[in-house]
């Protein structure tokens, strides 16, 4: 299994030198993660973790456009509509994989070249090292499709500086290139064209420690001058982000944005008004609670939320409007924040008994 190099396979798992190399290989689908890929990656990661001859993991995507643009949302939608158990299995498998990455005993290096969204963030952000390039585009755009920033978003987003994570989660704002590093999502920044050389050097390391790997990544990072002088895109708005997105409720955030009235606040208001009101409320609470939880507790909470979304209406409507019909005008139910009751939100967070996620 560990030398699977069939170029038609959806994921390639190879042992090269001292490295286990995972290549997401669905370039036409922007390397979107499906259940069969999860089922191949997870056991291989576990095997490599026990193997004394494997010293690090490298994960990357093919095709030059994306690392991984997210989970295979269409398949989940089809399954959820007819009550197929894929809607449970996918999230269970994905979150277990996120947890395996977050607790991995060996250095894990994600080369996040190109689009890295949703499920792709889950495959990278919990690992030790995330190498962004000038082609990286990061986003957690789930509130636009009636979902919430899952895959451990409730863990890493509230831990970013200030309220940046809340802002990214609620608005789906995209960060590009060096900004992904400046936001604290990537750990290193290297030119896209240097990645093959970096990978070769990582594979050539002889029984490396985490420090050796960090040193090698740092040396590439230091040599990279692309956009070095550019200020962080959110710098000028940080004060506003920290005050506007620190409110305890979505209604309060909206009120603060309206009161602020600056061009930046008005733009955020317009964005938030397009999102699923249910998703916004679930997301704000997910992040507020996740801020003091372990990764495992967050993933269990997110699994409960995922199943609540599968039973609801907004997820299917959001996918229809954004991904299928592409009319970009979802009809959310309920259509306003005020109509999403606290009781409804509470219910989405309730334990599922025997059906809770087991990690």
Active site residues: 71, 119, 142, 150
Give alpha helix (H) positions in 157-294. 164-171, 178-182, 195-204, 210-223, 238-244, 250-260, 263-274, 277-290
Closest CA to 123 of 136, 110, 133: 110
Tokens read off for 255: 């009120």
CB 305 within 8 A of CB 344: no
Tokens read off for 216: 């090698």
The answer, yes or no, to whether the previous bond of 2 is cis (omega within 30 of 0) is: no
List Cα–Cα distances, 137 to 40, 167, 174, 318, in angstroms: 26, 16, 7, 22
CA distance 142 to 273: 14
CA distance 77 to 86: 10
CA distance 109 to 262: 40
Helices 86-102, 73-81: inter-axial angle, 10-degree rounding: 140
């Amino acid at each position: 299994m560990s030398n699977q190099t069939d170029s038609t396979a959806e994921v390639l798992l190879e042992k090269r030198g001292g490295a286990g190399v995972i290549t997401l290989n669905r370039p036409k689908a922007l390397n979107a993660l499906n259940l069969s890929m999860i089922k191949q990656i997870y056991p291989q990661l576990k095997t490599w973790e026990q193997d004394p001859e494997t010293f690090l993991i490298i994960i990357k995507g093919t095709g030059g456009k994306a690392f991984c643009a997210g989970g295979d949302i269409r398949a989940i939608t089809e399954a959820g509509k007819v009550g197929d158990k894929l809607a449970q299995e996918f999230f269970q498998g994905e979150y277990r994989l996120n947890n395996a990455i977050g607790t991995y005993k060996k250095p894990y290096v994600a080369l996040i070249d190109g689009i890295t969204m949703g499920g792709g963030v889950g495959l990278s952000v919990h690992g030790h090292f995330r190498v962004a390039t000038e082609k990286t585009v990061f986003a957690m755009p789930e509130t636009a499709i009636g979902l919430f920033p899952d895959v451990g978003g409730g863990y890493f987003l509230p831990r970013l500086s200030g309220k940046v994570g809340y802002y990214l989660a609620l608005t789906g704002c995209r960060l590009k290139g060096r900004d992904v590093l400046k936001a604290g999502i990537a750990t290193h920044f290297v030119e896209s064209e240097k990645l093959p050389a970096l990978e070769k050097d990582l594979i050539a390391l002889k029984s490396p420690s985490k420090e050796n790997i960090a040193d090698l990544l740092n040396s590439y990072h230091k040599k990279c001058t692309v956009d070095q002088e550019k200020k962080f895109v959110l710098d000028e708005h940080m004060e506003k982000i920290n005050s506007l997105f620190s409110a305890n409720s979505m209604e309060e955030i909206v009120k603060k944005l309206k009161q602020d009235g600056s061009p930046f606040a008005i733009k955020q208001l317009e964005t938030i008004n397009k999102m699923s009101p249910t998703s916004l409320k679930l997301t704000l609470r997910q992040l507020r609670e996740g801020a003091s939880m372990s990764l495992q507790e967050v993933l269990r909470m997110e699994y409960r939320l995922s199943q609540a979304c599968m039973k609801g209406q907004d997820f299917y409507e959001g996918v229809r409007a954004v991904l299928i019909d592409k009319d970009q005008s979802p009809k959310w139910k309920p259509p306003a924040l005020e109509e999403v009751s606290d009781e409804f939100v509470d219910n989405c967070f309730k334990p599922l008994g025997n059906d809770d996620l087991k990690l």
